[in-house]
């Protein structure tokens, strides 16, 4: 199913909401609505520059794109920004695959309480 410009705007608003709620005021969050395979959204963080590049996929492999799904996806990606500094620091000491797995486990736990 295709995400619309309205979905993109709502997703952006939700990202800004969660970033503010989590105190991520020092990050410059940029947005892109682009083709992407096998994801709903993604974020790439440049920890040194404090720039997060957020992408909402134009095509979702799901039956329905709802505000709830967009909001949950936005929250998930913002949690990656929250953990970016820590993950960057830790990745210089342990294998990257380990860091990614632990990061996602923490994100999933945080999603349940926020």
Lowest-confidence segment of 19-33, 46-60, 85-99 by average pLDDT: 85-99
Any idea where the domains of the chain sit in the sequence?
5-113
Lowest-confidence segment of 1-5, 61-65, 78-82, 108-112 by average pLDDT: 61-65
Q: What pLDDT, in 10s, does the model give residues 53-71?
A: 999 999 998 768 999 999 9
CATH code for the domain defined by 5-113 = 3.30.2010
Which residue pairs from 74-77 have beta carbons closer than 8 angstroms and sit at least 24 positions apart in sequence? 74/11, 74/14, 74/15, 74/17, 74/18, 74/41, 75/14, 75/18, 75/111, 75/114, 76/41, 76/107, 76/111, 77/15, 77/41, 77/42, 77/43
């Amino acid at each position: 199913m295709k995400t619309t410009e309205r979905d993109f705007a709502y997703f952006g608003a939700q990202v800004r909401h969660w970033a503010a709620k989590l105190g991520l005021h020092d990050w410059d969050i940029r947005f892109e609505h682009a083709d992407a395979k096998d994801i709903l959204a993604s974020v790439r963080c440049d920890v040194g520059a404090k720039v997060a590049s957020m992408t909402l996929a134009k095509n979702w492999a799901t039956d329905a794109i709802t505000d709830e799904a967009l909001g949950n996806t936005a929250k998930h990606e913002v949690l990656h920004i929250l953990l970016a500094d820590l993950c960057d620091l830790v990745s210089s000491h342990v294998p990257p695959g380990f860091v990614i797995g632990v990061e996602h486990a923490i994100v999933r736990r945080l999603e349940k309480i926020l």
